[in-house]
Amino acid sequence: MKRLFYICMMCVLASVSAFSQVEFGVRAGGAYSSLVQKIEKDYDSGGRFGFSVAGLMDVPLYKGLSLRPEVAFVNQGGDYFSHQTEGGMNAHHKYSYYSIQVPINVAYTFYLSDIRLAVFVGPAFDFSLFGKMKTEETGVSTDIDFGSEKEPNLRTFDFGISAGMSVEYKHFFFSIQNLTGLLDRRTVKRDGESTLFQNNVTFSLGYFFRK
């Protein structure tokens, strides 16, 4: 029992020591987002500008490696064509909506004098909340009913890959991050219609609460 107690105490102390090295940060910036259609072998995208605000952690793993998860509130969207006919695609839809994004990045940081440079990559999860869509041909703007199997609504959940880099100086940092969705966002897709992916490129200024 004593041995088990000592082992448990060592695990607790190790956990406390590891947590004490965890650093927190915040960032905010602009984002260029687009809905990307894959039509046969070509890609076509329609984009818009939005924003992204996030809280993040930096958890040391080994030497320059760290785990850097984020929780971000994002305004994103884009536009695409649907209702494919023999004459082409004839319905143009525009979207602006809000999501919670959770990238779980692994970062590698190296130093140039007092400047920290980091590159990071990892999986990302996207949970869409609410937003508006507009069909150009009719001029009608309606709420997006995420998950509804009626066109032109979108799926609620997306999974993708996050990758980027950051430059930090005296706790402040600038980052560029790309999030590429891997799941088709269409809830309805007719035979011959294209797949649809969400893509974001975010430029942010941030601050790390480092000791």
How is 12-74 classified by DSSP, letter by letter? HHHHHHHHHT-EEEEEEEEEEEEEEEEETTEEEEEEEEEEEEEEEEEEEEETTEEEEEEEEEE
Would you say the pTM of this structure is higher than 0.85? no
Task: Classify 170 in phi/psi space as left (phi over 0), alpha (psi -120 to 50) or beta.
Answer: left
Per-residue model confidence as pLDDT tens digits over 62-119:
888 999 999 999 999 988 877 655 455 567 888 999 999 999 999 999 998 889 999 9
Consecutive H or E run containing 138? none
Domains of the chain from N-terminus onward: 24-208 (2.40.160.20)
Per-residue model confidence as pLDDT tens digits over 159-169:
999 999 999 99
Confidence (pLDDT) at 160: 96
For residue 152, cis peptide bond before it (omega within 30 degrees of 0)? yes
Strand partners, 208: 25
Alpha-carbon distance of 196 to 95, in angstroms, equals: 13
Strands 23-39, 65-85: parallel, antiparallel or unpaired by DSSP? unpaired
Alpha-carbon distance of 200 to 52, in angstroms, equals: 10
Per-residue model confidence as pLDDT tens digits over 167-191:
999 999 999 999 999 999 988 877 7
